[in-house]
Amino acid sequence: MKDFAALFARVDQTTKTTVKVAAMADYFRVASDADKLWTIALFSGRRPKRVITTTALREWAAERAGLPLWLFEECYPIVGDLAETISLFLPPATGDEDRPLSDWINELKRLSALDEDGRKEGILHAWSILPQIERFLFTKLLTGGFRIGVSQKLMTRALARATQQDEAVLTHKLMGNWTPDTTTWADLIEAEDPTADLSRPYPFYLAYGLEDLDQLGPTSDWFVDRKWDGIRGQLIVRQGEHHLWSRGEDLMTDRFPELAQLTDYLPDGTVLDGEILAFQDEMPLSFNALQKRIGRKTVPKKVIAESPVILMAYDLLEQDGQDIRAKALSERRKPLEDMINKLPDTLPIRLSPEVTGDTWEDLAQERAKSRDLNAEGLMLKRRDSPYLAGRKKGDWWKWKIDPLTVDAVMIYAQAGSGRRANLFTDFTFAVKNGNDLVPFTKAYSGLTDVEFRKITAWVKKNTQQRFGPVRQVPAEHVFEIAFEGIQASPRHKSGIALRFPRMLRWRHDKPVDEINTLDDLKEMLELYG
């Protein structure tokens, strides 16, 4: 754990990516195989499950420190992180065992099998022998919320430097549903064949938001199709089996059982990139229809009938078992078209059609139709572009439609977490309903740090009531709220739920009596819900 703690300290104390990469590369060169494997797992989001509740951890930390729980609870929001609060609150360690990271992971597994008394004994013992940084990391692992200021991309870059392998090859190796319990360092990293796991997807190619049309040149250089509003996914057909992966590396195969029939029609050794869409009468349904199926482990027949899905395919990554991502998009598109055009129309798959226009003004008019088609805008891809890994600038752009917006007044505020623990950043907003105000959404992003500090100072001076961490404030400050979609929701008092709400701007120029009404939201629901 000492080496892992030293790595954490090095990457936590700098904002320079070069220093972080160098620190991780040094670690990967000297750590044991088991520790390296768990480090990769932790940095790529494969965390152990939570061992104990945070409530118990807070109580035990206060008890071990010999201090009242209320004092801990007062310190927690100031520090902003539970594990850091515990590591600072506890008395100094009385021992110093130098056990590797993998041993402590095994200790977590052992604790998981015990009753609460056994877990308490084991956790208190660990706290008593671990120095502060190691205690902090151990507590992070206990909560199942381990995060560190390193992206998977940086970690992969460091791994490539340490192992002398190509970064793109390693990115592919790290895809899929492996865990340190199901593989080894040798099999995952050192094995020659990155496609040994037949279910493994390719890293997704991600686009940046379009910044300037003038930089693009003639429209003839670009392939344009719709930015569909569904779930990005890769469909893999290899050796008679199919697997469906989300962009977040979530295996979704069982959630969309109707796609299983494609295994009988698509050539073996095929990997398609596309969008899972709720689809009926040759038209995409709204994302709300698809949402009924998200998060379900089993999908009832009634839900399948109400929200049938297709794969809207827009790229071919593997053909006849051969990785063709290095080919130009135009070369990948032709076999994709041939493949899908030969399939029966009754199958749950469609080819994402090309959107054409001689000028960017023509394409802007097509973009304006997006909301009517339940799309988010247009995707612009250079015809000669390969399929790369991760987010790259230059070849792929997303040209999204402007969001829907309403003006609303802030009525509740709550402090943030992490570096924003001392700021009020999470707000509840309301619209008018006659003479009343009706809360309808929460938002916590969109303002600058300067604006958050200003609103924080105002909240502290103008708090009317406290409800735990939430403060009620006078309905004085108007904000423009942007969102991507709207749907009916019986769980909310307003009967409305927004998709991806955020604060677009603080409307210092607008009085409260000019904010939007609940009727305005209901009208939007009829148009866009």
153-166 pLDDT per residue, tens: 888 899 999 999 88
10 Å Cβ neighbour count for 51?
21
**What pLDDT digit, counting tens, does each position of 32-74 carry?**
999 999 999 888 888 888 888 889 999 999 999 999 998 888 8
Q: β-strand 396-400 against 208-209: which pairing, if any?
A: parallel
Name the 3-class secondary structure at 165.
coil
Mean pLDDT of the chain: 89
The CATH 3.30.470.30 domain(s) of the chain lie at: 205-400
For residue 295, pLDDT beyond 70: no
Contact 497, 439 (CB under 8 A): no
10 Å Cβ neighbour count for 507?
18
d(CA 431, CA 440): 7
Name the 3-class secondary structure at 240.
coil
For residue 25, pLDDT beyond 90: yes
The CATH 1.10.3260.10 domain(s) of the chain lie at: 2-143
| Distance from chain centroid for Cα 227 | 18
For residue 75, pLDDT beyond 60: yes
Task: For residue 265, count CB atoms less than 10 angstroms from its CB and return exposed for 0-12, middle for 13-18, buried for 19 or more.
Answer: middle
CA triple 329-333-339, angle to 5 deg: 155
Question: Quick one: CA torsion of 284, 287, 290, 295, rounded to 10 degrees?
Answer: 160
- Predicted TM-score (pTM) of this structure: 0.69
Q: Which two tokens stand for residue 279?
A: 């689809």
| Helices (H), ranges, 324-480 | 329-341, 360-367, 449-462
Per-residue confidence band for 175, with pLDDT thresholds at 50, 70 and 90: confident
For residue 441, pLDDT beyond 60: yes
Contact 209, 398 (CB under 8 A): yes
**Is 210 or 467 the better-scoring residue by pLDDT?**
210
The dotted CATH code for 2-143 is: 1.10.3260.10
d(CA 392, CA 208): 7
Nearest to 125, CA basis, from 135, 115, 133: 135
The CATH 2.40.50.140 domain(s) of the chain lie at: 404-528
Contact 431, 408 (CB under 8 A): yes
Say which CATH class 205-400 falls into.
alpha beta
**Is 261 or 196 the better-scoring residue by pLDDT?**
261
Complete DSSP assignment for 2-43? HHHHHHHHHHHT---HHHHHHHHHHHHHHS-HHHHHHHHHHH
> Using only C-alpha atoms, what is the Rg of the chain?
26
DSSP collapsed to 3 states, 406-431: EEEEEEEEEECCHHHCCCEEEEEEEE
**What pLDDT digit, counting tens, does each position of 234-285 carry?**
999 998 889 998 887 777 888 898 999 999 999 999 999 999 999 998 999 8
Nearest to 263, CA basis, from 285, 294, 279, 242: 242
DSSP 190: I
Beta-ladder partners of 499: 485
CATH superfamily of 404-528: Nucleic acid-binding proteins (2.40.50.140)
pLDDT of residue 419: 66
**Is 387 or 136 the better-scoring residue by pLDDT?**
387
